A and B are shown apart, each in its own frame.
Chain A
Amino acid sequence: MELGLTEQNKELLKSIWPLLVVIILFIVVGKIAVSQITAISTQVKDAKKSQTVLTTKLNTLKSTASITESGSEVALTALPKSNPAIMIMSQLKNISSQYPVVISNIRSTFADNNSSNLMFVSTAFDLSGKPEDIMSFIKAIDNIAPITVIQKISITSNVDFYTANIVAQTYYTPLPSTIPSITQPVNDLTAAEKDLLNKLSALSQPMVIPQANTSGDTSINPNPFGI
């Protein structure tokens, strides 16, 4: 079909259409390229981030392996997973044998402190002796495992000795039921945590030490602590 274009216009059109094609190609290819490159760059960025996290995690796990091996046992003794009534009674009798005091009426009652997922056994007992020996006994309770804190002390004076009624709380808490996913980072122990662990290691250990059931096969274990 003859459009009636002059030769001048035909020449101009012949020159312009490749220009338009190239511009359209630039737009189309550019759009595809931008989206593809953005997508793959994001993937590379995320993968590098994961690689950094996993490398750090692996290094942390390797470097803390020796500490966690012994530390977890110490921590589990300090804060057991189950009722520590027998352990605390054993520890109280053990301390009383170190000081010239008479311990009697030891009685334990279970209590549930729901606010912080910590449970405790409340142990009440009577102590007779000189004031300084009673004080030494009270001080010694601060240095036993499982962690025991004194909530109430009632001291009365008799003729030549003192009688103290003491109420102590010994804490325990269930084991954590999950571990983070493999891509989640884990943090090394902080200086404060290492310091606390050293203090826990120095605590007087009970006769019976609870063991963490942390062994398992290599498949995904939804309940890694075996409870």
Chain B
Amino acid sequence: MKHLREPRPALRLRRRVLQTALGCLALPFVPALAWADEFEGDPLKSFAWPGMRREFLGRDARVTWDDRRVVVEGPRFAEDPMNVPISVRVDAALGPVQEILVLVDRNPIRKVLSYEPQQALPRIAFRFRLEQGSPVRAAVRTADGRWHVGSAFVASTGGGCTVSGVTRADGSWSRTLGEVSGRMFTPTQDATRLRVRVMHPMDTGLVAGIPAFYLSRLSLRDGQDRELARLASFEPVSENPVFSFDFAQPPEGGVFIVGNDNNGNRIRSRLQ
């Protein structure tokens, strides 16, 4: 794990003194004060974080750094910056999860997706475009409104967001737009997994002359049309995205996926 910047010794000392002092008091408002350093406690010490926290989590957001219970996994380096696999797993000990928000510090577009697991397990896997080496964050909002943030660092030689995808480059995207393939799997004893691919060029808007064009909303529904989980996805998600959604039990009466892109094209498919 690469540290973006080593804290100065004086700062480190000051923080230790503060932490000790606050630890003794154990007050409920500790988090707001604990970030006496300029990185607000970010273990990866990214200068981008405080601004991201304000923009995406809220000015008064309460943040707990928790790599143990919010596990973000990625490769050490991005061999294919157009398709960087990320998986997020939230420990059941955190209780019910309202939202999993995935953010990337050094991407020109930082918000990758927002997942509301509802009836599903708080886990998601997908691939995204990475512009340069960067921390990848999963911010998990629990019922009490608190954010629990886990991170991973993915190194890269760069260039994922500003290059056209394969189907955009060869023009074949229009023939397959919105087509869906997917299947239920049993990767482990305790989970049923839906893996689904939706054909979409997922244009970031950062390639000259090609406006942003991306899947913006996907809803997973059971056989009775009850919503199981909801996903808002944004420009950085990879072309023809493959998502993995986990459930404790196989959904009743099969699964439907419905949704649309930012141009209003609809997706509706029965998966199982």
**A-B complex is real:** no
Q: List the interface of chain B (C-beta within 8 A of A).
A: none
Q: List the interface of chain A (C-beta within 8 A of B).
A: none
